[in-house]
Amino acid sequence: MGDQINSLIHLEIREDSVRDLQGRQSVRTTFKLSPRSIDALSILATQLGIRQKSLFDYLVDDVQTLRVIAEGGGLSGTAEPRVAKTYVISRRTLENLERISTSYNTPRDVLVEVSIERILPLLRREREKHERRKHFLSELNEHLARSAEMVRRAESDLGRDDPVFRQLLAMVKAVDTCCAAVEGCVDRGRRMEDFASQEENG
């Protein structure tokens, strides 16, 4: 027992582990981004069911990609107005941004903006899935209506105490729960419709 305690006492956290923990700390910082990029990040995070911080860090914490963006000159030919937006990101992500921005003389805002542009194809694919979900929701609602009518007939013909009626009623309740869950998924994706319209009109 004494040896185990002594071993624990002498355990040391390596310096690189400490740096990794410090890099995971959250910090708040502000960027000037286009409304489209702000909306895209927010919509996709909601659609995927993840925090904006997680998505932001995933997009911007890749040093190699940031170098490619900086070497490519960043944005070109865009006059879209910029809006100040504060995000919570990891300290490591911010340090990577600062380092690449300084090394390549490229504004942080540009690096972030182009990084977010990378998610637009994924957002378009999610938009297509959203349309297919709407079709399934429509079919599900029709199925629910038919099932509810069948339950009403079973109640009239068999009575509420009949085992078949009870099974049909349980089925309709399950379908109703499923329908509500699917409707929630579809409602969550409604913002993508507005975003797509803005892109088409822009």
**Tens of pLDDT, residues 149-175:** 999 999 999 999 999 999 999 999 999
Residue that is written with structure tokens 């599900």 in the block: 140
- Where does a domain end: 118, 150, 184? 118
Per-residue pLDDT band for 21 (boundaries 50, 70, 90) equals very low
In a domain, 5, yes or no: no
Mean per-residue pLDDT for 14-38? 73
Handedness of CA 47, 53, 54, 55 (dihedral sign): positive
Residues 102, 139 within the same domain: no
Would you say residue 29 lies in a domain?
yes
The alpha helices in 62-107, defined as continuous H runs, are 63-71, 91-104
| pLDDT of the residue at 150 | 97
The confidence score (pLDDT) of residue 143 equals 96
Strand partners, 30: 86
Q: What's the mean pLDDT in 125-152? A: 96
Domain membership of residue 1 (yes or no) is no
Residue numbers of the domain that contains 175: 127-201
In a domain, 18, yes or no: no
For the cut 80, the answer to whether the pLDDT of residue 147 exceeds it is yes
| Count of H-run helices and E-run strands, the chain | 10, 2
Q: Please indicate, yes or no, whether residues 139 and 71 belong to a single structural domain of this protein.
A: no
Q: What is the pLDDT of residue 77?
A: 46
pLDDT at 70: 86
Q: Structural domain tally of the chain? A: 2
Question: Which positions ≥6 away from 109 have C-beta within 8 Å?
Answer: 31, 32, 33, 82
Q: Is residue 135 part of a domain?
A: yes
Mean pLDDT score of the chain: 84
Residue of 93, 88, 82, 83 lying closest to 115 (CA atoms) = 93
Q: Is 180 exposed, middle or buried (0-12, 13-18, 19+ CB in 10 A)?
A: exposed
Flag whether 101 is in a domain: yes
Q: Which residue has the higher pLDDT, 201 or 89?
A: 89
Same domain as 106, residue 48? yes
Per-residue pLDDT band at 9 (split at 50, 70, 90):
very low
Two structure tokens written together for 15: 């310096």
Q: Do residue 42 and residue 84 come from a single domain?
A: yes
60/64 Cα distance (integer angstroms)? 10
Tell me, yes or no, whether 11 lies in a domain. no
* One domain for residues 55 and 136: no
Containing 85, the helix (H) or strand (E) segment is strand 83-90
Residues 132 and 111 occupy one common structural domain: no
Report percent pLDDT > 90 for the chain: 51
Could you tell me if residue 53 is inside a domain? yes
Q: Which of 54-58, 142-146, 193-197 comes out lowest in average pLDDT?
A: 193-197
Do 41 and 98 have their domain in common? yes
For a pLDDT cut of 70, what percent of the chain falls above it?
82
For residues 103 and 138, state if they share a domain: no
* Residue finishing a domain among 97, 118, 139: 118
pLDDT at 41: 92
What's the mean pLDDT in 119-140?
Answer: 93
Given 118, 144, 163, the domain boundary residue is: 118
Residue 66 has pLDDT above 80, yes or no: yes
